[in-house]
A = this chain, B = another copy of it.
Amino acid sequence: MTDLIRSWLETANDPATPFPLNNLPFGVFAAGDTPRCGTAIGNHVLDLAALQSTGLLPDCEFEAPALNTFMGLGKQAWEDVRQKLTDLLRDGNETGTVRAALHDVGSVTLHLPFQVTEYTDFYAGRQHAFNVGSMFRDRESALPPNWLHIPIGYNGRASTVVVSGTDFHRPLGQMKAPHEEIPSFGPCKRLDMELEIGAVVGLPSQMGKPISVDEADDMIFGYVILNDWSARDIQTWEYQPLGPFLSKAFATTISPWVVSKFSLAPFRCATPPREKELLPYIRDTGPMLYDIDLAVSMTAKGGPPTVICRTNYNTMYYSAAQQLAHHASSGCAMRTGDLLGSGTISGPDKGTYGSLLEMTWGGKHPLTLDCGRTRTFIEDGDTLALHGHAQGDGYRIGFGPCTGTILPPPTPAA
Protein backbone atom coordinates (compact mmCIF):
# COMPACT_ATOMS: atom_id res chain seq x y z
CA MET A 1 0.00 0.00 0.00
CA THR A 2 1.34 3.42 -0.99
CA ASP A 3 1.73 6.18 1.62
CA LEU A 4 0.19 9.64 1.49
CA ILE A 5 2.05 11.95 -0.89
CA ARG A 6 2.26 15.21 1.04
CA SER A 7 1.26 18.44 -0.69
CA TRP A 8 2.10 22.07 0.07
CA LEU A 9 -1.67 22.56 0.06
CA GLU A 10 -2.49 21.65 3.68
CA THR A 11 -6.13 20.53 3.11
CA ALA A 12 -4.82 17.84 0.76
CA ASN A 13 -3.00 16.17 3.67
CA ASP A 14 -6.10 15.72 5.84
CA PRO A 15 -6.68 11.95 6.24
CA ALA A 16 -10.40 12.55 5.68
CA THR A 17 -10.18 14.50 2.42
CA PRO A 18 -11.35 12.54 -0.63
CA PHE A 19 -8.78 14.44 -2.70
CA PRO A 20 -5.20 14.01 -1.44
CA LEU A 21 -2.32 14.34 -3.87
CA ASN A 22 -2.52 10.57 -4.39
CA ASN A 23 -5.91 11.03 -6.07
CA LEU A 24 -5.87 13.83 -8.69
CA PRO A 25 -9.22 12.93 -10.25
CA PHE A 26 -10.30 14.69 -13.43
CA GLY A 27 -13.44 16.75 -13.93
CA VAL A 28 -14.98 19.83 -15.51
CA PHE A 29 -15.73 22.99 -13.53
CA ALA A 30 -16.70 26.62 -13.99
CA ALA A 31 -15.98 29.55 -11.69
CA GLY A 32 -18.81 31.75 -12.99
CA ASP A 33 -17.31 31.51 -16.47
CA THR A 34 -16.75 28.93 -19.22
CA PRO A 35 -16.49 25.27 -18.11
CA ARG A 36 -13.04 23.71 -18.52
CA CYS A 37 -11.02 20.78 -17.18
CA GLY A 38 -9.72 20.64 -13.63
CA THR A 39 -8.50 18.35 -10.90
CA ALA A 40 -9.55 18.24 -7.25
CA ILE A 41 -6.91 18.73 -4.56
CA GLY A 42 -7.93 19.07 -0.91
CA ASN A 43 -10.55 21.81 -0.69
CA HIS A 44 -9.61 23.21 -4.08
CA VAL A 45 -10.05 22.72 -7.78
CA LEU A 46 -6.96 23.26 -9.89
CA ASP A 47 -7.61 24.86 -13.29
CA LEU A 48 -5.81 22.68 -15.83
CA ALA A 49 -6.55 25.03 -18.72
CA ALA A 50 -4.90 27.90 -16.82
CA LEU A 51 -1.86 25.75 -16.01
CA GLN A 52 -1.61 24.64 -19.61
CA SER A 53 -1.72 28.26 -20.83
CA THR A 54 1.32 29.05 -18.66
CA GLY A 55 3.20 26.17 -20.27
CA LEU A 56 3.28 24.04 -17.12
CA LEU A 57 1.25 21.23 -18.72
CA PRO A 58 1.31 19.70 -22.20
CA ASP A 59 -1.50 20.77 -24.55
CA CYS A 60 -4.34 18.30 -23.98
CA GLU A 61 -7.27 20.61 -24.85
CA PHE A 62 -7.98 21.22 -21.18
CA GLU A 63 -9.85 24.38 -22.13
CA ALA A 64 -12.63 22.18 -23.55
CA PRO A 65 -15.77 21.65 -21.45
CA ALA A 66 -15.17 17.88 -21.46
CA LEU A 67 -12.28 15.50 -20.80
CA ASN A 68 -12.77 13.54 -24.02
CA THR A 69 -9.75 14.79 -25.96
CA PHE A 70 -7.44 14.11 -23.03
CA MET A 71 -9.09 10.74 -22.41
CA GLY A 72 -8.49 9.71 -26.03
CA LEU A 73 -4.71 10.23 -25.76
CA GLY A 74 -4.05 6.98 -23.90
CA LYS A 75 -2.15 5.72 -20.90
CA GLN A 76 1.22 7.42 -21.45
CA ALA A 77 -0.32 10.88 -21.78
CA TRP A 78 -2.52 10.30 -18.72
CA GLU A 79 0.51 9.22 -16.70
CA ASP A 80 2.64 12.15 -17.90
CA VAL A 81 0.03 14.72 -16.85
CA ARG A 82 -0.43 12.97 -13.51
CA GLN A 83 3.32 12.96 -12.88
CA LYS A 84 3.60 16.64 -13.77
CA LEU A 85 0.69 17.57 -11.47
CA THR A 86 2.18 15.50 -8.64
CA ASP A 87 5.46 17.42 -8.98
CA LEU A 88 3.74 20.80 -9.07
CA LEU A 89 1.66 20.10 -5.97
CA ARG A 90 4.19 18.14 -3.93
CA ASP A 91 5.23 19.50 -0.53
CA GLY A 92 8.04 22.01 -0.98
CA ASN A 93 7.26 22.86 -4.63
CA GLU A 94 4.76 25.70 -4.08
CA THR A 95 4.73 28.39 -6.77
CA GLY A 96 2.58 31.45 -7.28
CA THR A 97 1.61 30.27 -10.75
CA VAL A 98 0.03 27.09 -9.44
CA ARG A 99 -1.54 28.85 -6.47
CA ALA A 100 -3.13 31.35 -8.87
CA ALA A 101 -4.79 28.47 -10.73
CA LEU A 102 -6.54 27.16 -7.59
CA HIS A 103 -10.22 27.81 -6.90
CA ASP A 104 -11.95 27.16 -3.62
CA VAL A 105 -14.27 24.20 -4.23
CA GLY A 106 -17.18 26.19 -2.79
CA SER A 107 -16.81 28.85 -5.48
CA VAL A 108 -17.13 26.58 -8.51
CA THR A 109 -19.86 24.55 -10.16
CA LEU A 110 -19.05 21.05 -11.31
CA HIS A 111 -20.22 19.85 -14.73
CA LEU A 112 -20.53 16.51 -16.45
CA PRO A 113 -16.83 15.51 -16.66
CA PHE A 114 -16.96 14.05 -20.16
CA GLN A 115 -19.30 13.80 -23.09
CA VAL A 116 -20.89 10.37 -22.73
CA THR A 117 -20.63 8.76 -26.14
CA GLU A 118 -22.63 5.63 -25.35
CA TYR A 119 -23.71 4.12 -22.06
CA THR A 120 -23.77 0.38 -21.42
CA ASP A 121 -25.09 -1.07 -18.21
CA PHE A 122 -23.93 -4.47 -16.96
CA TYR A 123 -25.31 -6.89 -14.40
CA ALA A 124 -22.16 -8.22 -12.75
CA GLY A 125 -23.29 -8.35 -9.12
CA ARG A 126 -23.91 -11.97 -8.28
CA GLN A 127 -25.98 -11.27 -5.19
CA HIS A 128 -28.03 -8.63 -7.04
CA ALA A 129 -28.75 -10.99 -9.94
CA PHE A 130 -29.68 -13.72 -7.46
CA ASN A 131 -31.93 -11.39 -5.43
CA VAL A 132 -33.74 -10.04 -8.48
CA GLY A 133 -34.06 -13.54 -9.96
CA SER A 134 -35.48 -14.84 -6.66
CA MET A 135 -38.10 -12.11 -6.63
CA PHE A 136 -39.14 -12.34 -10.27
CA ARG A 137 -38.67 -16.11 -10.77
CA ASP A 138 -37.74 -18.44 -7.89
CA ARG A 139 -34.65 -19.23 -5.82
CA GLU A 140 -33.79 -22.39 -7.75
CA SER A 141 -33.64 -20.73 -11.16
CA ALA A 142 -32.74 -17.27 -9.81
CA LEU A 143 -29.46 -16.92 -11.71
CA PRO A 144 -29.97 -16.98 -15.52
CA PRO A 145 -28.16 -19.94 -17.17
CA ASN A 146 -25.74 -17.65 -19.04
CA TRP A 147 -24.84 -15.52 -16.01
CA LEU A 148 -21.68 -17.40 -14.93
CA HIS A 149 -20.38 -17.39 -18.53
CA ILE A 150 -21.24 -13.93 -19.86
CA PRO A 151 -20.83 -10.49 -18.30
CA ILE A 152 -24.49 -9.75 -19.14
CA GLY A 153 -25.10 -6.20 -20.29
CA TYR A 154 -27.46 -4.06 -22.33
CA ASN A 155 -27.23 -0.72 -24.06
CA GLY A 156 -28.45 2.16 -21.89
CA ARG A 157 -29.29 5.72 -22.84
CA ALA A 158 -26.47 8.30 -22.93
CA SER A 159 -28.58 11.45 -23.46
CA THR A 160 -29.77 11.50 -19.86
CA VAL A 161 -26.49 10.83 -18.04
CA VAL A 162 -26.19 13.81 -15.69
CA VAL A 163 -23.67 15.04 -13.16
CA SER A 164 -24.26 14.75 -9.42
CA GLY A 165 -26.61 17.41 -8.11
CA THR A 166 -28.85 17.44 -11.17
CA ASP A 167 -32.42 17.09 -9.91
CA PHE A 168 -34.99 15.61 -12.26
CA HIS A 169 -38.66 14.81 -12.58
CA ARG A 170 -40.20 11.52 -11.55
CA PRO A 171 -40.60 9.60 -14.80
CA LEU A 172 -43.92 8.92 -16.47
CA GLY A 173 -44.60 5.64 -18.15
CA GLN A 174 -46.81 2.81 -19.13
CA MET A 175 -47.36 0.14 -16.50
CA LYS A 176 -49.70 -2.73 -15.68
CA ALA A 177 -49.82 -4.59 -12.39
CA PRO A 178 -50.52 -8.34 -12.66
CA HIS A 179 -54.09 -7.91 -11.31
CA GLU A 180 -54.93 -5.11 -13.76
CA GLU A 181 -56.73 -5.86 -17.01
CA ILE A 182 -55.22 -3.10 -19.12
CA PRO A 183 -52.14 -0.89 -18.78
CA SER A 184 -52.23 2.75 -17.70
CA PHE A 185 -49.92 5.73 -18.24
CA GLY A 186 -48.79 7.97 -15.42
CA PRO A 187 -46.10 8.76 -12.86
CA CYS A 188 -43.89 5.85 -11.79
CA LYS A 189 -44.93 4.50 -8.38
CA ARG A 190 -41.93 2.28 -7.74
CA LEU A 191 -38.96 4.59 -8.32
CA ASP A 192 -35.64 3.01 -7.34
CA MET A 193 -31.90 3.64 -7.40
CA GLU A 194 -29.00 1.30 -8.18
CA LEU A 195 -25.55 1.72 -6.69
CA GLU A 196 -22.89 1.14 -9.34
CA ILE A 197 -19.34 2.00 -10.35
CA GLY A 198 -18.93 3.34 -13.91
CA ALA A 199 -15.82 2.62 -15.97
CA VAL A 200 -14.91 5.35 -18.46
CA VAL A 201 -13.37 4.31 -21.79
CA GLY A 202 -10.43 6.49 -22.83
CA LEU A 203 -8.65 4.85 -25.74
CA PRO A 204 -11.01 3.69 -28.52
CA SER A 205 -11.04 0.34 -30.35
CA GLN A 206 -11.87 -0.38 -33.97
CA MET A 207 -14.98 -1.96 -35.44
CA GLY A 208 -14.34 -5.63 -36.21
CA LYS A 209 -11.31 -5.81 -33.92
CA PRO A 210 -11.77 -7.75 -30.68
CA ILE A 211 -9.52 -6.80 -27.75
CA SER A 212 -7.97 -8.82 -24.95
CA VAL A 213 -8.75 -8.28 -21.27
CA ASP A 214 -5.30 -6.67 -20.83
CA GLU A 215 -5.89 -4.32 -23.76
CA ALA A 216 -9.31 -3.49 -22.31
CA ASP A 217 -7.79 -2.67 -18.94
CA ASP A 218 -5.34 -0.29 -20.64
CA MET A 219 -8.19 1.46 -22.50
CA ILE A 220 -10.00 2.41 -19.28
CA PHE A 221 -9.28 5.99 -18.26
CA GLY A 222 -10.89 5.87 -14.83
CA TYR A 223 -13.94 5.27 -12.72
CA VAL A 224 -16.97 7.18 -11.40
CA ILE A 225 -19.74 6.43 -8.92
CA LEU A 226 -22.99 5.84 -10.81
CA ASN A 227 -26.67 5.76 -9.88
CA ASP A 228 -28.71 3.83 -12.43
CA TRP A 229 -32.15 5.19 -11.43
CA SER A 230 -34.83 2.65 -12.27
CA ALA A 231 -38.62 2.76 -12.59
CA ARG A 232 -39.55 -0.73 -11.45
CA ASP A 233 -43.22 -0.68 -12.45
CA ILE A 234 -42.40 0.59 -15.95
CA GLN A 235 -39.59 -1.98 -16.18
CA THR A 236 -41.79 -4.95 -15.21
CA TRP A 237 -44.31 -4.21 -17.96
CA GLU A 238 -41.90 -3.20 -20.76
CA TYR A 239 -38.84 -5.42 -20.41
CA GLN A 240 -40.00 -8.62 -22.06
CA PRO A 241 -38.75 -9.61 -24.60
CA LEU A 242 -36.11 -6.97 -25.45
CA GLY A 243 -34.86 -5.73 -22.09
CA PRO A 244 -35.11 -2.56 -19.97
CA PHE A 245 -35.69 0.59 -22.03
CA LEU A 246 -37.61 3.64 -20.78
CA SER A 247 -37.54 2.39 -17.19
CA LYS A 248 -33.83 3.28 -17.19
CA ALA A 249 -33.75 6.05 -19.82
CA PHE A 250 -34.98 9.05 -17.80
CA ALA A 251 -31.78 9.66 -15.73
CA THR A 252 -28.42 8.19 -14.76
CA THR A 253 -26.30 10.20 -12.33
CA ILE A 254 -22.50 10.09 -12.12
CA SER A 255 -20.04 11.61 -9.68
CA PRO A 256 -18.32 14.83 -10.83
CA TRP A 257 -14.82 13.38 -10.63
CA VAL A 258 -13.35 10.59 -12.74
CA VAL A 259 -10.82 8.82 -10.53
CA SER A 260 -7.89 7.63 -12.60
CA LYS A 261 -6.74 4.03 -12.74
CA PHE A 262 -3.36 5.17 -11.38
CA SER A 263 -4.75 6.45 -8.08
CA LEU A 264 -6.75 3.24 -7.69
CA ALA A 265 -3.78 0.96 -8.54
CA PRO A 266 -2.90 0.23 -4.87
CA PHE A 267 -6.47 -1.00 -4.34
CA ARG A 268 -6.62 -3.56 -7.13
CA CYS A 269 -8.00 -6.93 -6.11
CA ALA A 270 -9.02 -10.16 -7.77
CA THR A 271 -12.55 -11.13 -8.69
CA PRO A 272 -14.13 -13.79 -6.43
CA PRO A 273 -13.40 -17.47 -7.23
CA ARG A 274 -14.92 -18.59 -10.55
CA GLU A 275 -17.87 -20.93 -10.13
CA LYS A 276 -17.55 -21.99 -13.77
CA GLU A 277 -14.39 -21.66 -15.84
CA LEU A 278 -14.62 -18.64 -18.12
CA LEU A 279 -13.90 -18.81 -21.84
CA PRO A 280 -10.34 -17.58 -22.58
CA TYR A 281 -11.37 -14.24 -24.16
CA ILE A 282 -12.69 -12.93 -20.81
CA ARG A 283 -10.52 -14.86 -18.37
CA ASP A 284 -8.85 -12.87 -15.56
CA THR A 285 -5.20 -12.10 -16.25
CA GLY A 286 -4.55 -10.38 -12.93
CA PRO A 287 -6.34 -8.34 -10.26
CA MET A 288 -8.59 -5.88 -12.11
CA LEU A 289 -11.33 -5.24 -9.60
CA TYR A 290 -10.91 -2.60 -6.89
CA ASP A 291 -11.44 -2.45 -3.14
CA ILE A 292 -13.77 0.56 -2.95
CA ASP A 293 -16.02 1.14 0.07
CA LEU A 294 -19.45 2.32 -0.95
CA ALA A 295 -22.42 3.77 0.91
CA VAL A 296 -25.88 5.06 0.06
CA SER A 297 -27.80 7.60 2.10
CA MET A 298 -31.43 8.60 1.72
CA THR A 299 -32.85 11.93 2.86
CA ALA A 300 -36.55 12.74 3.03
CA LYS A 301 -37.22 16.45 2.46
CA GLY A 302 -36.16 18.39 5.56
CA GLY A 303 -34.88 15.33 7.37
CA PRO A 304 -31.36 14.12 8.15
CA PRO A 305 -29.62 11.65 5.83
CA THR A 306 -29.95 7.96 6.72
CA VAL A 307 -27.31 5.51 5.58
CA ILE A 308 -29.28 2.64 4.01
CA CYS A 309 -26.45 0.62 2.47
CA ARG A 310 -22.75 -0.07 2.98
CA THR A 311 -20.99 -2.37 0.55
CA ASN A 312 -17.83 -2.77 -1.54
CA TYR A 313 -17.05 -2.93 -5.27
CA ASN A 314 -14.76 -5.92 -4.61
CA THR A 315 -17.82 -8.21 -4.45
CA MET A 316 -18.46 -7.98 -8.21
CA TYR A 317 -18.12 -11.17 -10.24
CA TYR A 318 -16.74 -9.48 -13.38
CA SER A 319 -14.26 -6.58 -13.63
CA ALA A 320 -14.79 -3.63 -15.96
CA ALA A 321 -11.88 -4.89 -18.08
CA GLN A 322 -13.68 -8.20 -18.58
CA GLN A 323 -16.89 -6.37 -19.44
CA LEU A 324 -15.08 -4.17 -21.96
CA ALA A 325 -13.31 -7.12 -23.61
CA HIS A 326 -16.66 -8.88 -23.87
CA HIS A 327 -18.28 -5.71 -25.27
CA ALA A 328 -15.76 -5.48 -28.11
CA SER A 329 -15.65 -9.25 -28.74
CA SER A 330 -18.33 -9.30 -31.45
CA GLY A 331 -16.64 -6.53 -33.40
CA CYS A 332 -18.37 -3.64 -31.63
CA ALA A 333 -16.27 -0.45 -31.84
CA MET A 334 -15.66 1.16 -28.47
CA ARG A 335 -15.15 4.91 -28.35
CA THR A 336 -13.63 7.56 -26.12
CA GLY A 337 -16.35 8.57 -23.67
CA ASP A 338 -18.16 5.25 -23.51
CA LEU A 339 -19.46 4.64 -20.01
CA LEU A 340 -19.84 1.10 -18.63
CA GLY A 341 -21.99 0.65 -15.52
CA SER A 342 -20.83 -2.24 -13.35
CA GLY A 343 -24.29 -3.46 -12.46
CA THR A 344 -25.85 -3.04 -9.03
CA ILE A 345 -23.38 -3.69 -6.24
CA SER A 346 -25.06 -5.79 -3.56
CA GLY A 347 -23.18 -7.61 -0.83
CA PRO A 348 -24.38 -10.80 0.89
CA ASP A 349 -26.80 -9.32 3.49
CA LYS A 350 -29.63 -6.84 3.64
CA GLY A 351 -27.54 -3.87 4.86
CA THR A 352 -25.27 -4.31 1.84
CA TYR A 353 -27.91 -4.36 -0.91
CA GLY A 354 -27.50 -1.66 -3.57
CA SER A 355 -31.14 -1.05 -4.55
CA LEU A 356 -34.39 -0.36 -2.72
CA LEU A 357 -35.97 -3.26 -4.60
CA GLU A 358 -33.63 -5.56 -2.70
CA MET A 359 -33.54 -3.61 0.61
CA THR A 360 -37.35 -3.68 0.90
CA TRP A 361 -37.66 -7.01 -0.96
CA GLY A 362 -39.95 -5.70 -3.66
CA GLY A 363 -41.63 -3.20 -1.33
CA LYS A 364 -42.70 -5.81 1.25
CA HIS A 365 -40.45 -4.61 4.09
CA PRO A 366 -40.32 -0.80 4.33
CA LEU A 367 -37.19 0.98 5.56
CA THR A 368 -37.48 3.36 8.48
CA LEU A 369 -35.42 6.52 8.01
CA ASP A 370 -33.78 8.37 10.93
CA CYS A 371 -36.51 11.03 10.70
CA GLY A 372 -39.06 8.31 11.50
CA ARG A 373 -40.67 8.20 8.06
CA THR A 374 -40.80 4.90 6.18
CA ARG A 375 -39.98 4.19 2.55
CA THR A 376 -40.48 1.32 0.14
CA PHE A 377 -39.51 3.27 -2.97
CA ILE A 378 -38.42 6.88 -3.59
CA GLU A 379 -40.91 9.70 -2.95
CA ASP A 380 -40.93 13.21 -4.43
CA GLY A 381 -38.45 15.45 -2.61
CA ASP A 382 -36.25 12.54 -1.51
CA THR A 383 -32.51 12.83 -2.09
CA LEU A 384 -30.29 9.83 -2.70
CA ALA A 385 -26.55 10.23 -2.23
CA LEU A 386 -23.98 7.62 -3.22
CA HIS A 387 -20.51 7.81 -1.71
CA GLY A 388 -17.36 5.84 -2.36
CA HIS A 389 -13.70 5.82 -1.47
CA ALA A 390 -10.71 3.51 -1.41
CA GLN A 391 -9.12 3.55 2.06
CA GLY A 392 -5.32 3.84 2.04
CA ASP A 393 -2.95 4.02 4.97
CA GLY A 394 -3.63 7.53 6.27
CA TYR A 395 -5.40 8.77 3.15
CA ARG A 396 -8.44 7.99 1.02
CA ILE A 397 -9.23 8.18 -2.67
CA GLY A 398 -12.73 9.64 -3.14
CA PHE A 399 -15.05 10.42 -6.06
CA GLY A 400 -17.13 13.25 -4.64
CA PRO A 401 -20.80 12.57 -3.94
CA CYS A 402 -23.25 11.25 -6.52
CA THR A 403 -26.58 12.81 -5.56
CA GLY A 404 -29.97 13.52 -7.05
CA THR A 405 -33.31 14.80 -5.74
CA ILE A 406 -36.60 13.71 -7.25
CA LEU A 407 -38.91 16.48 -8.46
CA PRO A 408 -42.66 15.92 -8.98
CA PRO A 409 -43.65 14.34 -12.31
CA PRO A 410 -43.86 16.62 -15.36
CA THR A 411 -47.09 17.52 -17.11
CA PRO A 412 -47.81 14.93 -19.82
CA ALA A 413 -47.55 16.14 -23.44
CA ALA A 414 -50.67 17.80 -24.88
Contact = CB atoms under 8 A, between A and B. Distances in A.
Interface of A: 117-118, 123, 144, 146, 149-150, 152-160, 162, 168-169, 171-174, 176, 182-185, 207-212, 215, 231, 234, 237-247, 249-251, 276, 279-281, 325-335, 338, 407, 410, 412-414
B413 A173 contact: no
Contact of A326 (B242, B246, B333): B246
Contact of A281 (B155, B239, B412): B412
B212 A414 contact: yes
Number of copies: 2
Contacts of A407: 208
Contacts of A242: 123, 152-154, 239, 243-244
A410 B174 contact: no
**From DSSP, what is the main secondary structure of chain A's interface residues?**
loop
Contact of A209 (B185, B212, B276, B410): B410
A160 B207 contact: yes
B159 A333 contact: yes
A382 B242 CA distance: 28
A262 B19 CA distance: 56
A168 B246 contact: no
B247 A210 contact: no
B329 A246 contact: yes
Contacts of A182: 149, 276
A159 B154 CA distance: 15
